């Protein structure tokens, strides 16, 4: 079939959750279909990224997108006037519509596959094609949770409190007008149905390539906690502050030689400042290759209190053999078993004690390592996980 894939971020390299999800869907589709990729691109996207995607796709068309505070304010004003979600309006670009109109004039597609809710608006004009909406999460739930964790003095709290309600209506409406809808978890499916979506949503989890995510043989020089995740994402920032303020001091009391490394792009200044007063803490920012840190690690933490969809970093960690402690929200949507392939804790005291268990109990550490890899291979490899797309396309 001829497939048009619309993406909000260039799906290569697969170095963040949304990119990992979309890249493996693309890899799966490219095995049996002629795929045209149309994607927004940022200044950080390099020509070699596009060249790699051309090895999978029949065509790759890119449209530059920039966000700026002044532009965001304009879209906020438009949102106030129209009642449309600000999160959707700020990705409205006439350049994308023009590129797709030109493409539609020359090519008939069997399937238009909109990746993430932001791209749904661009699929609607393709009235002669079957349309699939591929949702990475239930956005309204994600922003509702984020709003609940922000302090009262943060203006973003009030924007999110307004926007999640608008998103709930918008998300339900979009799900009803597409021919097929996919969600990454049963929890997201139920949240979308609550928003008024169709009931026949197909759950297809985020997938990884377990051949590419090779098992890591770790040899930590001392008890070493790692966290991997973009440090400009509000939910990650909130989780790390919660960990550093309420959990890490308990761990340091019982494991005095513990170390903690935070890996991820654009960490806030207040988190970077903590490194200066705590010799056990390292804040790396973005690193091209986190492998040396992972080889020197004892375990990983996922201290999320807000979020939606699935955490790709957990799937990657399973494949790499990294045992971890996560909150319930952090591992939501992933088929895990507490004390088998992961440890789950939600209060600061419990999170600290579970972390201490993994740092000090070698047998438990090894058990989670092996069982996590098993979970990744059996349930989340893209060659298995993406197979329901075949039936949807047919």
Write out the DSSP string of 60-84. Answer: EEEEE----HHHHHHHHHHHHHH--
Number of DSSP helices (H) and strands (E) in the chain, helices first? 18, 13
Higher pLDDT, 55 or 82: 55
The burial class, CB within 10 Å (0-12 / 13-18 / 19+), for 266 is: exposed
The pLDDT of 211-235, averaged and rounded, is 92
The closest alpha carbon to 359, from 185, 191, 180, 224, belongs to 224
Instruction: Say if residue 39's pLDDT is above 80.
Output: yes
pLDDT of residue 236: 92
CA max distance for the chain = 67
pLDDT of residue 63: 98
Pairing of strands 2-7, 34-41: parallel
pLDDT of residue 308: 66
Measured CA to CA, the distance from residue 328 to residue 301 in angstroms comes to 12
Binned at pLDDT 50, 70 and 90, residue 309 comes out as low
pLDDT of residue 355: 98
* Whether 104 contacts 38, CB under 8 Å: no
pLDDT of residue 80: 86
pLDDT of residue 16: 83
pLDDT of residue 303: 97
Q: Write out pLDDT tens, residues 8-23.
A: 999 999 988 899 999 9
The closest alpha carbon to 318, from 226, 236, 208, 186, belongs to 208
The pLDDT of 124-141, averaged and rounded, is 95
Annotation: CATH topology of 224-379: Rossmann fold (3.40.50)
Distance in angstroms between the alpha carbons of the first and the last residue of the chain: 9
Q: Within a 10 A sphere around the Cβ of 346, how many other Cβ atoms? A: 13
The DSSP element (H or E) to which 364 belongs, if any, is helix 362-379
Binned at pLDDT 50, 70 and 90, residue 328 comes out as very high
pLDDT of residue 224: 98
pLDDT of residue 387: 96
Q: Write out pLDDT tens, residues 240-283.
A: 999 999 999 999 999 999 999 999 999 999 999 999 999 999 99
What strands lie across the sheet with 59-64, from one edge to the other? 59-64, 34-41, 2-7, 111-115, 130-134, 180-183, 202-203
The closest alpha carbon to 17, from 367, 371, 333, belongs to 333
Q: Write out pLDDT tens, residues 336-356.
A: 999 999 999 999 999 999 999
pLDDT of residue 148: 86
Binned at pLDDT 50, 70 and 90, residue 234 comes out as confident
**What average pLDDT is seen over the chain?**
94
pLDDT of residue 145: 87
Sequence ranges of the chain with CATH classification 3.40.50.2000: 2-207+382-393, 224-379
Check residue 118 and report its DSSP letter. G
Structure tokens at 253: 């009391």
Binned at pLDDT 50, 70 and 90, residue 140 comes out as very high
Binned at pLDDT 50, 70 and 90, residue 51 comes out as very high
pLDDT of residue 35: 98
Q: Three-class SS of residue 213?
A: coil
The pLDDT of 363-382, averaged and rounded, is 96
Total residues belonging to the chain:
394
The closest alpha carbon to 171, from 203, 145, 126, 201, belongs to 201
Instruction: Say if residue 296's pLDDT is above 80.
Output: yes
Binned at pLDDT 50, 70 and 90, residue 36 comes out as very high
The pLDDT of 375-390, averaged and rounded, is 95
Q: Per the omega criterion (within 30 degrees of 0), is the bond before 14 cis?
A: no
Instruction: Say if residue 146's pLDDT is above 90.
Output: no
Measured CA to CA, the distance from residue 268 to residue 172 in angstroms comes to 34
Q: Write out pLDDT tens, residues 75-126.
A: 888 888 898 998 899 899 999 999 999 999 999 999 999 999 999 999 999 9
The pTM of the full predicted model, rounded to 2 decimals, is 0.82
- CATH number of the domain located at residue range(s) 2-207+382-393 in this protein: 3.40.50.2000
Higher pLDDT, 309 or 138: 138
Binned at pLDDT 50, 70 and 90, residue 326 comes out as very high
Would you tell me the crossing angle of helices 69-82 and 155-177 to the nearest 10 degrees? Answer: 60
pLDDT of residue 269: 95
Q: Write out pLDDT tens, residues 358-367.
A: 999 999 999 9
């Amino acid at each position: 079939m001829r497939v048009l894939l619309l993406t909000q971020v260039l799906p290569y390299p697969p170095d963040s959750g949304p990119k990992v999800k979309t890249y493996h869907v693309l890899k799966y589709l490219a095995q049996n279909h002629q795929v045209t990729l149309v994607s927004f691109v940022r200044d950080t996207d390099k020509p070699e990224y596009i060249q790699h995607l051309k090895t999978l796709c029949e065509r790759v068309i890119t449209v530059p997108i920039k966000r700026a505070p002044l532009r965001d304010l304009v879209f906020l004003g438009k949102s106030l006037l129209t009642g449309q979600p600000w999160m959707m309006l700020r990705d409205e670009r006439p350049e994308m519509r023009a590129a797709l109109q030109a493409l539609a004039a020359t090519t008939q597609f069997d399937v238009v596959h909109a990746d993430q809710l932001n791209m749904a608006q661009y699929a609607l004009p393709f009235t002669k094609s079957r349309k699939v909406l591929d949702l990475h999460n239930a956005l309204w739930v994600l922003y509702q949770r984020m709003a609940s964790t922000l302090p009262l003095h943060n203006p973003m709290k009030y924007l999110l409190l307004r926007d999640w309600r608008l998103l709930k209506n918008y998300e339900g409406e979009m799900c009803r007008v597409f021919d097929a809808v996919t969600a990454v978890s049963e929890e997201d499916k139920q949240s979308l149905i609550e928003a008024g979506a169709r009931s026949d949503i197909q759950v297809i989890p985020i997938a990884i390539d377990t051949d590419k995510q090779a098992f890591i043989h770790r040899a930590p020089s001392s008890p070493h906690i790692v966290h991997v995740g973009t440090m400009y994402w509000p939910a990650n920032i909130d989780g790390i502050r919660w960990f550093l303020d309420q959990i890490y001091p308990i761990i340091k009391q019982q494991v005095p030689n513990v170390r903690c490394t935070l890996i991820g792009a654009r960490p806030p200044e207040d988190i970077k400042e903590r490194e200066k007063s705590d010799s056990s803490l390292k804040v790396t920012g973005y690193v091209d290759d986190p492998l040396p840190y992972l080889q020197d690690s004892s375990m990983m933490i996922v201290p999320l209190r807000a979020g939606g969809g699935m955490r790709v970093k957990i799937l990657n960690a399973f494949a790499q053999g990294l045992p971890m402690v996560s909150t319930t929200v952090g591992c939501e949507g992933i088929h895990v078993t507490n004390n088998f392939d992961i440890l789950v804790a939600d209060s600061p005291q419990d999170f600290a004690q579970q972390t201490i268990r993994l740092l000090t109990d070698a047998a438990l550490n090894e058990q989670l390592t092996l069982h996590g890899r098993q979970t990744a291979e059996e349930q989340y490899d893209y060659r298995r996980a993406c197979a329901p797309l075949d039936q949807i396309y047919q």
